[in-house]
Chain A
Amino acid sequence: MRKCEVTGVKKLTLSATAKDRYTTYGLVVLIAVAVQLFVSYGNASNSFKGLLVPTCVYVLAALSLNLVVGVSGELSLGQAGFMCIGAYVGATFSVITAESIASDAVRFTIAILLGGIVAGVFGFLIGIPVLRLRGDYLAIVTLAFGEIIKSVCGNLYLSADKNGLFVALDVKAKSAHAFDAATKVDYVNGALGINGIPRTSNIRVNEWAFVICMAVILIAVIVMLNFIDSKQGRAVMAARDNRIAAEAMGVNVTRSKMTAFVMSAFFAGVAGVLYAHNYNVLDTSNFDYNQSILILVFVVLGGMTKMRSVMISTIILYVLPEALRGLNKWRMLIYAIVLIAMMLINNSVAIKKLVEKIQAKFAKGAENKEGGAA
């Protein structure tokens, strides 16, 4: 009897996860189609259109961070650093190949892949030391890496002339270098960043920018949800819930966490590429520690588990304050209060007991009713 019950439950949950997954895919497609129809045929305002691509960027960044914070249970405070790598690599590639690759679609696709892959490689390299650490140490080291990446990108000089590429981390080294003046081109210019990026993901330049971003998000969601349902994904979640028990069961914790970390870095890099191509000029000012925290807020308020809820929370939290301009001043203050309140409600022993008491009362009431009906 009992055995039968268990198998029954298992079947039900399995189909429920599949259903859950398709609901999420459906939601992404629905949002993409509905918003694009509104943009194409409705009279969408310019400020609404301007919000679309940045919202997608933040959704993707939040989804990628959720892989580390929600699925792996490790606090990473350097997500903006991976976005920065993706943005710089993608933008530099697009600037360099702006003339040699004529097709926007081909160039942009390569830029996205390249930005993501380089960010992923950095994720791997950073993951080797970082994933050996735990808890607070891991958080502070990811923060440190984020700041290092930002500092290095902000001091990077990349130029070319007919003699080849020139890279430096110091403006003095650049001015000391003898360039061939006629063929000299500056690609990355220190604190001034990158100039003249083809605005492929800008909705005013490219009508399909939003659909492209949503397609990227859809691919990301498919990859992530399949990962979560895979053996590796389950291993990561087992290690999150009890590391020692998972290790005792033979789970290679470091390896599975690394997979999640690299995947997270990859998609953060892709988000960076999308972000960079929305503007003409790119510098590091938008990839600081505060940006990492903002993305973390989206993830935490999205519940830190389901991709769908993280997506919805990001959309609401990003669009609402932009739409209500008067609220913008108070935005971060309100986020901070909600963040603290949510952690207290979810984790405080006293509040948990109170909730259980109320639930017990309701359950008792329901039982009484059932008894009465019988």
Chain B
Amino acid sequence: MNITNQEHQEDLHHIKQMMERSSRFISLSGLSGIAAGSCALVGAYFAYDVISTSRGNILKTLDTTIYETSKTGNVSIESFMGNRLFVIAVVTFIASFLLSFLFTYLRSKKTNTPLWGSTSKRLFVNVMIPMIAGGIYLLKLIENEAYGLIAPGCLIFYGLALVNASKYTLGEVRYLGYCQIALGLINLWFVGFGLYFWAIGFGILHILYGMYMWNKYERE
């Protein structure tokens, strides 16, 4: 009797596992979260450097800018500072994307699931919908020079993307999403401290989440 009981329990376990594996992308690695979070912190450090030095030089810059603007007509403080911040943002994004891709690729080898299968495609589409909508919205904010709202916007739309994604991957992603949304909303009342909120959300929360997930699913 005990042997059949154990078999039934294994059957139920097998059913649950097959339901999970066929509908969710389970190879998202915790190490990807840690890597992306670390990149975000390094990026935030460089961005802080740019912002604080340009604040110090603001008068100097102002003089030369006025001079240059009068000469060429298209150089402003925003573009002087914005270009460097933009480069930092792009480099940070590419580095964190490549590193998280690498760890998830290694994880998919271990769990024996395809990296680009029907579950990961579904996950990708559902992440991209809020992200693209958010990205366009943020570009409009930049165009309208509402720079203080960019960091909260990043956090809120990214959080929404995670909540949306949680149905198609490991369910814990939902709680990371809630935290990002909350952080973004709080940031709306602390405009000017965007970089700190950004570093907490994309840096520290990612690292904490990654460590939790690695400990729960991947530690051997």
The answer to whether A and B come from one shared complex is no
What residues of chain B have their CB less than 8 Å away from a CB belonging to chain A? none
